Amino acid sequence: SNLQNLTLNVVTISNPYGALAKKNGTDIKPSSEELIKYLKTFNLDRLNSVQKFSFAIMYPLTRILLNMTLKIQTTNSWGYKVNNKWDGIVGLLMSGEADFSISINALRSERYEVVDYSAISTWKHLPCFIFRHPRSSTASTNIFLRPFETTVWLSILCIVILSGLVYCTIVHYESNQTFSLRVLSDIVLLKIGTLCQQGTVMEPTKFSNRLIVLLMFVFSLVMYQFYSSSIVSGLLRPTVMNIDSVQKLEESGLDVGVEDFNIITKVIEVYGEINPFLKKIVDNKIKPKSEYLLAKDGVKKIKKGHYAFFTDPATSYWLINDIFTEKEKCDLSELPLHRHETTGYLVQKNSPYRKLINYANVILLETGLMQRELSIWHAEKPKCAAGKTTTEESLVSVEIKDIASLIAFLIIGFIGSFTILVLEIIVHRHETTITAILIKKS
């Protein structure tokens, strides 16, 4: 249809950022020419991708297919009911100040009562938490006990004790050696040494004892292979914390932030009233720290780890593709709060332009223009390429928390050894004093 350059009032979103953080927002309203120039501009920060995609569809639809002239006005809200009054785009359409919107809106049942939806868009609205898989804390603390089950550890202990008893018996009957604490200590060290594939100063002289030591070395060699390979495989395939619900996210200890984008903050606000665990996250982790960030700042925190960012992945995944390594991309996980929402353009109730915009939209869809613009502005989740190539980052690095239990074991051993030394000194001085007193009396 040719509307012969008919001028119509339309509305779009100008600056939906910074309403809560009070640091990203601006009250500057650009002129219609400046706004059109901005909406045609591609920028690396990916701000306003939704509006730019919307305009990239509506500009050829209205100017080329329908021959309209657009008089653009702006608002900062998509249209929500506040105190029984609609604001933003919906409010302007209801008052007649705008004929239709050139920015897509999510299809909501409550809006059907006051406005109509026209052309349906291919853009899917699905904000979600994005985070890197945190490693399970229990996997790190039990890394040295995890390779074997409890029954296996008990079996190894029993075998060591049994071999020690057999060794003691053979020594006693073959050499008639008197047992003392020193001899018993040497035998214990010998058995622990064979289990750890290490020798001691004590050397078995009899064939029977040598056979026991040889068998213990073979046993420890086989067990060591199972033990070390299990630890290495555990580091190569670390156990991750499975976060598949808001409750688990709240209990995980991850820091949480929200994209300072009024669509996103509205979702958090609405679902926070329904989900008590989300309300805890907002009240305890987001509001106290004012964790309302632009997408580029939130993505940087995701990269550092231990951070969940509630954002629109259609925008944030572009930024993630730019700065994340392949391994970090494979660590990514999503946690949505709801199913994806279909989007479309709003028009006045019973508007005569509704069908015209619908028909023109179908033409753009059939020619592939809409899919082309979607590929430019709507990002997809990065594909995991780890394992296909070997890079430096794919090598395993042991973290301090992995060996924390071993360090604690050594410290306890040092403290125990020093305590025993102090006791030995005290006992020795006591015995020396008693001996001196007895000598003087005699």
CA angle (299, 300, 302) in 5-degree steps:
60
Residues above pLDDT 90, as percent of the chain: 19
Across all residues in the chain, what is the average pLDDT? 82
For residues 333-339, give the mean pLDDT. Answer: 90
Q: Encoding tokens for residue 357?
A: 């915009």
CA angle (49, 54, 55) in 5-degree steps:
100
> Hey, which bits of 161-316 come out as E strands?
255-259, 292-293, 307-311
**Domain assignments of the chain as residue spans, ordered by start:** 7-124+342-377, 130-136+242-339, 140-237, 404-436
pLDDT of residue 340: 85
More confident residue, 98 or 160: 98
Q: Which of the residue ranges 140-154, 335-349, 425-439 has the most confident prediction, judged by mean pLDDT? A: 335-349
pLDDT of residue 27: 47
Query: Are 343 and 119 within 8 A, CB to CB?
Result: no
Residues above pLDDT 70, as percent of the chain: 84
Task: Tell me which H or E stretch contains 120.
Answer: strand 115-125
Distance CA 105, CA 113 (A): 15
More confident residue, 268 or 26: 268
Confidence of residue 238 (pLDDT cuts 50, 70, 90): low
More confident residue, 29 or 28: 29
pLDDT of residue 20: 47
Q: Which amino acid is at 218?
A: V
Burial of 36 (0-12, 13-18, 19+ CB in 10 A): middle
Q: Encoding tokens for residue 25?
A: 């927002």
Confidence of residue 207 (pLDDT cuts 50, 70, 90): confident
Confidence of residue 16 (pLDDT cuts 50, 70, 90): low
pLDDT of residue 21: 44
Residue 435 has pLDDT above 80, yes or no: yes
More confident residue, 194 or 81: 81
Confidence of residue 299 (pLDDT cuts 50, 70, 90): very high
CATH code for the domain defined by 130-136+242-339: 3.40.190.10
> Hey, which bits of 184-315 come out as E strands?
255-259, 292-293, 307-311
Distance CA 172, CA 157 (A): 23
CATH 3.40.190.10 is the classification of domain 7-124+342-377: yes
pLDDT of residue 311: 92
Q: Which of the residue ranges 11-20, 44-53, 394-403 has the most confident prediction, judged by mean pLDDT? A: 44-53
pLDDT digits (tens, 9 = 90+) for 165-202: 887 777 777 665 555 666 777 777 777 787 787 766 66
The pTM is what?
A: 0.70
Query: Are 111 and 104 within 8 A, CB to CB?
Result: no
Which residues does 283 contact at the CB level (< 8 Å), separation at least 6? Answer: none
Whether 7-124+342-377 shares its CATH topology with 130-136+242-339 is answered yes
